[in-house]
Structure 1
Amino acid sequence: MIAQNTIETVFETARVEEVIGDFVQLKRAGSNLKGLSPFVDEKSPSFMVSPVKQIWKDFSSGKGGNVVTFLMEHEHFSYPEAIRYLAKKYNIEIEETEQSNEEREEANEKESMYLVSEFAQKYFHNTLINSDEGKAIGYSYFKERGFTGETIRKFGLGYSPESWDAFTKEALGKGYRLEYLDKTGLTIVKEDKQFDRFKGRVMFPIHSMSGRVLGFGGRILTNDKKAAKYLNSPESDIYHKSKVLYGIYQAKQAIAKLDNCYLVEGYTDVIQFNQAGIENVVASSGTALTPDQIRLVNRLTKNITVLFDGDAAGLRASVRGVDLILEAGMNVKVCSFPDGEDPDSFAKKTPYEELIQYLDANAKDFIQFKASLLMREANNDPIKKAELIRDMVTSISKIPDRIKREIYIQECSRIMDISEQVLVDTLAQLVQKDVTDAGKKLKQEQKEKVFEVVKNQGETASKIDVLYELERKLIEILLLYGNEVEEFEDVLLKANEEGEMVEVSEMNNYKVYHRIYLSLQEDEVELANDSFRAIYNNLIGYYHQNEKFEIEQYLMRLEPELAREVTNILMEEEREALHNWEVQQIIVKQKNQTISQYVSETILTLRWFLVDRIINDLKNSLSAEPTADNSEILMMAVDYQKLINTFSKKLGRVMSRYS
């Protein structure tokens, strides 16, 4: 178990903008930073990071929190795993306390699979470096590929022994459960036996963007024609090959810094480029490029340069991925190598400066590349040339930005020597077809959900949960202004010269949190929402005990769920002003309002709402029986209505006093 002083050091040291910057490309937006949501597919940034408050908010998915909750949401870390990750990033020594058996058993299934995968990576790497078999076979192979010892360590390369169950025996002997060896695919379990999936292969661990081991790729070194040359971990709860890019962990900082990502096909392409000094390179690991993989890169940069092997068949097959990149709104260039060369072989024999020069000189815009590639196939055949032009316009139609589309149409017209108007008309047809197809798909989806929509229509149309919003607004006020000293109006009963008790107004100074606390105590109001009630009690206690309110220190003491709710509230002010809140009786602080006016309005509105709800309950309790006596209920309703009239007058006075 991680000691509390270690956790505090981690929170004091870690910077939310630095940690999130490893996963998301952030750009300055006033005092904040913004980027594309890492949780949903979007074209316009809705992800905000506040370096001042050390929190973040994703307005698309509704997620938010501090540096730890980001790692828990994005990387599916447990709380301790997030702390360990940050401690490693900032070179903080972790102090441990003894962990109980119950706490050890709390590790969930995914965490157990991660632990097994991490053990496997260390085992394979240690076998490669230290065993006679590993050095003679695996290490020799990597050396022949030109990889240095430093590169082998950087990518955690390894070797799985030729024995049928060497790894499985070792893992079971260390206490790892066969269930998780099976679920990660490291061990193949049969009824009467179990054996290693990757026996006799050199191992390439596949990491997540945060560095967690998700799975493995293993290359066989013998000439066994019955065995696959490369074997990957099967799909599991932690490994989805369509959502992973090999090398993203090692490349992410270079990609964000250089604002460009080189995309290759294989493991060794990535490693050789990295060793040559070009670190912003990832691989699709032999699978066809997927939208999820493109989104991974899109979080770090808008620019992709696709590197193709020199053979024509590989080029033609890989071009299909270009349309997916364009569809994601990214800028794509294409670079091919000479015949017989691939990124691995070319980088191995080319010095860094020459390699950079080659890439710069030969990286073509996708439209130029596609034209030169397909023109060779057309071979002056007018029919094939027409198909080629339609192919190019189809690619252009995938681009969401209209200005870019028009520029590419002009470029295509120039290169292919064809009327720009013809291309524009063809493009319009294709775009219209995409729109029509999308409309049909949407219509079908709506048709399938029609009964569900009708069922939920009443709920959707119902007015906003006013009590929820008012309670949320009170928490927001406490977080933003709780320690501020403001002047508030107190209405007291005092005897006048005739001895009559009359209301007298006095202005007194209060801390905002104290004023809210006293008001709710006076009315014996307890917040209805469980989370808000817990945060409210925690906040009041914090203000009573501390002179200063520091959001980072405060968030440390909250459970992750409550911390997430707090950051959601704090980041709400970064969103554009909400519309029609006044109609829903929700007070929104305007720039010309004072804090005391804002507080008073919110409290009075909450009182108004609660009393109004009591009146409605009284009305519903009236008996329809002719002989029933409803007089007492009616009198109570009248008294409560007078109270509402008082609130109305007070609200008018509060607003006019500051107008």
Structure 2
Amino acid sequence: MAGRIRGEDVALVRERTDIAEVIGEHVTLKPAGGGNLKGLCPFHDERTPSFNVTPSKGFFHCFGCGAGGDAISFLTELEHLSFAEAVERLASKAGVTLHYEDTDGRSSSRSQQPGRKQRLLAAHTEAAKFYSEQLASPEARIARDFLSERGFDRDAAESFGCGFAPPGWDALTKHLRGRGFTPDELTEGGLAKPARSGSLIDRFRGRLVWPIHDLTGGIIGFGARRLSEDDNGPKYLNTPETPLYKKSQVLYGIDAAKREIAKRRQVVVVEGYTDVMACHLAGVPTAVATCGTAFGSDHINVLRRLLMDSDEFKGEVIFTFDGDEAGQKAALKAFGDEQRFVAQTYIAVSPGGMDPCELRMAQGDEAVRELVAGREHLVDFAIATTLASYDLDSVEGRVAALRATAPLVARIKDKSLHPGYTQRLAGRLGEDVDLVRRWVHAARSKQAPPQAGPARRKVTGPRLLSERDVLKLAVQHPEMAGPYFDEVDETYFSDPMHVVVRRAIANAGGAAAAASGPNWGMAISDACGDLAAAALVAELAVEPLRIDGEPDTRYVATALAGVQWPVVEEQVAELKSKLQRMNPETDSEGYMKLFGELMALEQRLRGLKERAAGAL
């Protein structure tokens, strides 16, 4: 067994290692003056870069968390390698042959012997080569057809390292055992698993496989797609948690996309392996995907370091979830995490709800590029999706929708965007922008929302008096109120007790067919079916009208107008709100029809107000 690495070799590795190159595989570094570089620290969550690298001295230091050291300590901290494993990793890149010293200090002529993680990486590299070769075999026809049907030719398959896991029980296991890898290494790396018989069998069998790389390009696992109906396993099967593979941190395609992500300050998050392939082939080289798990905080940390995601709001994170219900839920979850980014967050959903792979097959490479270019702010999508679950044509629905969406606007990181999104939300709701602004402010400051909401106009004293007056007319002077009163149904009355009395008058035969006197009043009382309403009828029968002398038809008309115009005014407001939510370009016919209804209703409102002005 090898002892420690000879000190001279460690010194040579340090001398030949470019620390900026090593750290640059994990962190986007930018010039910071004096030959130093700066980036976001990979060891703690931060918004302002405090992680400094001095290439001339071969050291790094974070002024935020205090982490520091050379390239060897960087790898031991970030990738949880032992000292020897980190040196071996760097020695391999630097072309240094390592020698080991026995515990008694004697030097050994043995060259570099890889540590555990290096052995697992080597096993995965050999497995990827094996799978790739198997893709050309006759029994892999089903896998080649799968790729071809999705627009991927042989060159594309080779470029992304696609392979085929033979359907036999232990084809890969036998191959790797023949290359000197131990059963423990195969099981620890997730390449094989024990069978009930005690022997080892392949984890992936009869499946199309994709190698999954880490940021440095090392193969750390595989994703495998079911091809046969006889396969009772899940549609996608991924490498389990291993010393190399941590699913909460892994992003497929990150090794190929990292330089373009840093260069363009943009990352496109898609949902599957074929979507990554389609995007890269179509000219969107910043695409990555999670591997069998939801997009989470560890993925965000990886991307922030690559984006140099500081406090400038310059980067872009674009999600391309499917347009179905599951995709919408995923997008809303992503919006819940978007506060972790300083970068602006967007979503791109194709018109037909197709994913990038389907879109490329149906419409070509340009359509994929246009999908990404036509992105919309994630907050816009979150607001629209939330509003879609409410009935915006009802007062209650708009109140609930405002309650749900005001916090979304309040959470927008860039405060300069608040006024614009507040106004946009007001337009979608068809509500007053000052009211929406108060709700957004309340949500931002964690205060209780304003009491005044987009609800039906509060019934004031004069309106109640007007309702009471017209009911007195119907009870005391039915021959005068007559058909004018009967045309104004219970929907124009706001007080619940007034509604009961108005309904009772209709059930008693209506004012036009009645004659004044005790029998008419009693008929209304009997039709009430409510003691309190019956008592109100008795009051109405004896309470004087608010005029001098006997009522005439002009008084009846003005009193009834005073009851109707508040309701018609609300109807006008409802129509205006609905028009505000419509797009006249996409629904011109519906918009013009509604606009005509609004004009007629406003004309009626003006007439009612003119008559009501001469009433009481």
Per the TM superposition, whether the score is higher than 0.5 is: yes
Unaligned runs of 5+ residues in structure 2 are 103-107, 308-314, 448-616
How far the C-alpha of 1:15 sits from its partner, in A, is 4.2
What TM-score, normalized to structure 1? 0.57
- Whichever of the two has the greater Rg, that structure is 2
What secondary structure, in the 3-state scheme, does the structure 2 residue paired with 1:243 have?
Answer: coil
**Could you say which residue in structure 1 is the equivalent of 2:551?**
none
Indicate which of 114, 130, 150 corresponds to 2:121.
114
Q: 1:5 to 1:348 in 2, by over 3 A?
A: farther
Question: Which residue is 2:41 aligned to?
Answer: 37
Cross-structure match for 1:25? 28
TM-score normalised to structure 2 length: 0.61
Cα 1:23–1:398 change in 2 (3 A) is farther
Q: Does 1:75 align with 2:87?
A: no
Aligned twin of 1:303? 316
1:49 and 2:71 are equivalent in the alignment: no
Q: What is the aligned partner in structure 2 of residue 325 from structure 1?
A: 338
- Give unpaired runs (5+ residues) of structure 1: 435-659
Indicate which of 234, 238, 241 corresponds to 2:244. 238
Q: What do residues 578-625 of structure 1 show as CA deviations (whole Å, max 9, x unaligned)?
A: xxxxxxxxxxxxxxxxxxxxxxxxxxxxxxxxxxxxxxxxxxxxxxxx
Structure 1 pair 80–384 and aligned structure 2 pair: CA distance change class (3 A): farther
Corresponding residue number in structure 2 for 1:202: 208
Shift of 1:36: 1.5
Structure 1 residues 137 and 354: CA distance shift in structure 2, 3 A: closer
Select 1:216's aligned residue among 219, 222, 225: 222
The amino acid of 1:235's aligned partner reads: E
Residue identity opposite 1:21 in structure 2: G
Of residues 159, 173, 181, the one that matches 1:176 is 181
Q: 1:226 to 1:408 in 2, by over 3 A?
A: same
Taking the aligned partners of 1:80 and 1:275, their CA distance within structure 2 comes to 39
Q: Does 1:393 align with 2:406?
A: yes
Q: Secondary structure at the match of 2:167?
A: coil
Mapped to 2, the partners of 1:87 and 1:25 lie a distance apart of 23
- 1:12-52 per-position Cα deviation (integer Å, ceiling 9, x unaligned): 67544444333223333333332211111122221112344
Distance in 1 between residues matched to 2:241 and 2:32, nearest whole Å: 39
- RMSD of aligned C-alpha atoms? 3.6
> How does 1:262-273 map onto structure 2 within 5 Å?
262-273=268-279
Match of 2:152 among 147, 153, 157: 147
Q: Distance in 2 between matches of 1:6 and 1:149?
A: 43
Q: Is the 8 A contact 1:55 1:67 kept in 2?
A: yes
Mean Cα deviation higher: 265-274 or 331-340:
331-340
Residues 370-519 of structure 1: matches in 2 within 5 Å?
Answer: 370-382=382-394, 383-399=396-412, 402-403=415-416, 408-427=421-440, 429-431=442-444
SS in 2 for 1:57: strand
1:204-255 superposed Cα distances (whole Å, 9 cap, x missing partner): 1221111222221111110136321111112223222122111111111011
SS in 2 for 1:308: coil
Q: 1:4 to 1:279 in 2, by over 3 A?
A: farther
Give the Cα–Cα distance (whole angstroms) in 2 for the partners of residues 100 and 197 of structure 1. Answer: 38
Distance 2:292 2:253 in 1: 13
Shift of 1:126: 2.6
Indicate which of 360, 376, 398 corresponds to 1:364: 376
Local SS of the residue matching 1:215? strand
Provide the secondary structure at the position in 2 that maps to 1:24.
Answer: coil
How far off its partner does 1:56 sit?
1.9
SS in 1 for 2:348: strand
Amino acid at match of 2:164: Y
SS at match of 1:300: helix
- Residues of 2 paired with 1:150 and 1:197: CA distance? 27
Alpha-carbon distance in structure 1 between the residues aligned to 2:261 and 2:132: 27
Distance 1:258 1:105, change over 3 A: closer
SS across alignment from 1:275: helix
Letter of the 1:395 counterpart: L
**Does the Cα contact within 8 Å between 1:214 and 1:238 map onto a contact in 2?**
yes
Deviation per residue, 1:446-480 (Å, 9 max, x gap): xxxxxxxxxxxxxxxxxxxxxxxxxxxxxxxxxxx
Maintained 8 Å contact 1:75/1:210: no
- Spell out, residue by residue over 1:541-579, the C-alpha distance to the aligned partner (whole angstroms, 9 max, x if none): xxxxxxxxxxxxxxxxxxxxxxxxxxxxxxxxxxxxxxx
Equivalent-residue separation in structure 1 for 2:100 and 2:196 (angstroms) = 35
The higher-RCO structure (CA 8 Å, 6+ apart) is 1
Query: Following the alignment from structure 1 to structure 2, what is the Cα–Cα distance between the partners of residues 343 and 109?
Result: 38
CA distance in 1: counterparts of 2:303 and 2:432, whole angstroms: 36
CA displacement at 1:375 relative to structure 2:
3.8
Q: Distance in 2 between matches of 1:152 and 1:80?
A: 36
8 Å Cα contact 1:261/1:304 also seen in 2:
yes
* Aligned partner of 2:295 among 289, 292, 315: 289
CA distance in 1, matches of 2:417, 2:87: 44
CA distance in 1, matches of 2:428, 2:89: 51
SS in 1 for 2:47: coil
Residue 289 of structure 1: how far off its partner (Å): 1.5
- 8 Å contact kept, 1:263–1:282: yes
